Each structure stands twice: as structure tokens, then as C-alpha cells.
Structure 1
Amino acid sequence: MGKMRRIGSAMVATAAVVVATTAVSGAAHAATSAPHGTAGATVESQVAGLLKYNKGAKRIAADKVDLGQGAIATVHPGSAVSPAVSVSLCSFRHGDAVGWLCLYQNDNWGGENLDLTVCTNVNLSTKYMSNGRPWNDQISSIDNDQTSNVTSVFYNYDGSGDPNSSSNWQVLLRLPAGHYLRDLSKDKSLSNPPGGYANDKIDIVHVC
């Protein structure tokens, strides 16, 4: 099982995903000009892709795009970020954005980043990465930075019937607020039959 932490308390054994009801505070006064150099060009390219593939999306910062339904996409050119374990990863990368559920494309917080900020169910197949690929079956690490005593749930769509009906979902993970999973390729899923791993399998997120 991957490492999980509760801020200021002991590790737990189960995982589940939740998103806070926190609004996107601070976005309005965030810088909207891109950084300079190669990294800046990469950011601009990825932001352009996010705007292209997500209908109605809006750029709200140099590296952030609002995809709607409380989903914020953030691009992070370069290597994965590994802050001290005592520092909330969402807070580390987003400043005052405490209360968000942060999903990452790669393990150890690498690749593109999708933050869920509204309490709802999110079908990840309706949100697109900068390369046009939908976010479902792409998640490899998670940080649940909520402050409330809630648990988020991650599901796999079984491939038949209405994908928006919970009767067609299988539970993969449960992650309480204040916990994270660095590498889903090492975390056993809860689906039936049991076993296997949750990496690149998440289709639906019950934020809270």
C-alpha cells in the first residue's frame, strides 16, 4: 500500500477520494502572464491545449485553466515536486488553495494536475488534458487536502450502461481528508474481484 498521511496524526490503511467545497479563492488576483524561457513556452503550449480541448474552459492564471464543474487544471513543466512530508502537497503547489482534492497524471505528483474544488461527482471522461486525452484512466497519485472529516471515493466504470449511473461503478479507492497516495501502481484496489492496482483506472470521483 502506498504511503498515506493525516496531517498531525498517524497513517491509516484505507484510501478514498474527496473534494472540498472550497471555491477557487485567489484565482482572480493570480498572475496571468506566462513565465519566460523554455518552461514558459511549455506552459503556454499546454494551456493552449487545455483551452482547445475543454469547451468553455477559461484561463485563470499563468498555469491554471478552469474546466468547469469545479475542476481546475494546472500544468507543471519539469520534474515531480517532493516537499517535506509535513507540508500539504496541494498547499505546496497552490499556495492558499487548502481544501482541494488534487489528482496527478504521474506518480509522486508528476505530470499534469487536476484539482477538484466542488462537492459533486465528476466523470473524468468529460475533462481533457492538454494533449486532448480525457482524464479518466490517467490518475497515478492523489492528495486529498480537505480540512473536513470527509472521505472521497474513486470509481472505475464497468464499461456497460450509463456511465453517470452509480450502479455501473466499482469502488477502487477510499481516501479520507488529510491523506495522500504517492503511487497508485502500489495501491491495491477495492474492486471486485479484489486485487490489482488502482493506477490509471479511475473514471469517476465522488468528491464529497
Structure 2
Amino acid sequence: MKLLNPLRTRRTALALALATTSVLTTALATPAIAASADAASSARAADTRLEQQIEGLLRHNKGAERVGKDRVRLEPGVEMTVASTRAAADGANDCRTGYACVWQHRDASGYRLDFYYYGSYTLSNYTMPDGTSWQDQVSSYYNAQTDGAWIVGKNWDNGLEWIFGGPGGRYEALVSANDQADVIELYA
């Protein structure tokens, strides 16, 4: 009968346990590492798209300046926000107090124009990142202005007729005259 060396047996058992733990840890960690790499790759792609949209806005809107991660001032009192993750998630709640906001698509989605000062704004003066004019592109709006201020969307077809609008606090997820606005007016 062969006697086992107790010290050698313990070392072998310990080595086997460590090897098993290492294999198990690697197997468990690999999906987490892969998921983390996929998330990082998606985030980089989103950042690249965002930067391309901002560059397009700056290129197509003479005198425009970047004022935020996803926002460009087209002229004093008029800013455009690109379709970022934050803006898409917040929808109408992302329209800042004191502004009237219009969106390219229904349900406060897509690109957004923010207007601050009272006045009349011809939408063909503003372009999206791909060079498309804002004329006939408005699908939803939210009026976050205060003190009884109104937003009104108008159309040239019948002598600049009123096609949508309302006082502060008013939101329309889909305006009845979808993609027909030529002018936005703000007044008290």
C-alpha cells in the first residue's frame, strides 16, 4: 500500500481549486466584458453621430455657434437641438421655461427649434444638419413661455393663415396642419 504525502495532496487540491475558480471567473466575466465593450462602442457611435449633426448645423447656418453638447444658436433667441438621446427621452419636458419649442416629428421628437424673443420667424431661414429647410417640417410644439405669451404657426398658402398655436403651457403632440408651417410667431 502506497502512502500519500498529505502536504502534496493539499497542494494538488489547492491548485485544482484555484484552476477551477479561475476558469469559472473567466467564464462569468466574459459576457460582462463583452457587454461593456458593446456599450462603449455604441456610445462612441452616438457621439460621432452627434458631432456630425452639430457640424452640419454649423456648416448650413451662417453665423451659428455651438452653445451646448447638442445645441447650436442659429441667431439670438433661436437655438436648435439635434436628436440626442437626452432630448429624445425628455420630449416636451426638455423645452426650457421661457421658450416656445417646435419639433420636426410628432410627440416632441426629432430635431427641435427653440424660440425665445417675441417676433416673427421665417422657417426657411433655418436649416437642419443635412441642409433641409425647416419650412413645412413642424409636427409638434410646446409653449413654455410665461406671462400669457403665445406661439402661432402660420402658412403662406392663404395669406399667412394661422394653422396651429396656443398660450403658455400648451402642447400639441401632432399639429393638425402637420408639416405646413412657414412662419412661427411669438407674442404677448
Counterpart residue identity of residue 125, structure 2: T
- 2:148 maps to 1:169: no
- Conserved in 2, the CA contact under 8 Å of 1:129 and 1:135? yes
Q: Which residue of 2 aligns with 1:145?
A: 144
Q: Which residue of 2 aligns with 1:4?
A: none
Structure number with bigger Rg: 2
Of Structure 1 and Structure 2, the greater strand share is in: 2
Q: Aligned-pair distance for 1:82? A: 5.7
Q: Which residue of 2 aligns with 1:203?
A: 182
Q: Output the CA distance in 2 between the equivalents of 1:149 and 1:180.
A: 15
- 2:72 maps to 1:81: no
CA RMSD, 1 decimal: 1.9
Query: CA offsets per residue over residues 90-146 of structure 1, 9 Å max, x none?
Result: xx325xx31110110011111111101111100000011111011110001101111
Counterpart residue identity of residue 114, structure 1: L
1:178 to 169, 182, 185: 169
Q: Which residue of 1 aligns with 2:46?
A: 39
Q: Output the CA distance in 2 between the equivalents of 1:180 and 1:61.
A: 25
Query: CA offsets per residue over residues 144-195 of structure 1, 9 Å max, x none?
Result: 1112112222100128xxxxxxxx31111231111100012xx2xxxxxxxx
Q: Describe the shift of the 1:64–1:80 C-alpha distance in structure 2 as closer, same or farther (beyond 3 A).
A: closer
Q: Output the CA distance in 2 between the equivalents of 1:200 and 1:179.
A: 19
- Conserved in 2, the CA contact under 8 Å of 1:81 and 1:108? no
2:72 to 65, 83, 91: 65
Q: Output the CA distance in 1 between the equivalents of 2:152 and 2:106.
A: 19
Counterpart residue identity of residue 37, structure 1: R
- Conserved in 2, the CA contact under 8 Å of 1:82 and 1:108? no
- Conserved in 1, the CA contact under 8 Å of 2:155 and 2:161? yes
Structure 1 unmatched ranges of 5 or more: 1-35, 84-88, 160-167, 188-197
- Conserved in 2, the CA contact under 8 Å of 1:154 and 1:172? yes
TM-score after normalising by structure 1:
0.64
Higher relative contact order (CA 8 A, sep 6+): 1
TM-score after normalising by structure 2:
0.71
- Conserved in 2, the CA contact under 8 Å of 1:156 and 1:204? yes
Structure 2 unmatched ranges of 5 or more: 1-42
Secondary structure at the counterpart of residue 97 of structure 2: coil
Secondary structure at the counterpart of residue 81 of structure 1: helix
Q: Aligned-pair distance for 1:49? A: 0.5
Secondary structure at the counterpart of residue 142 of structure 1: strand
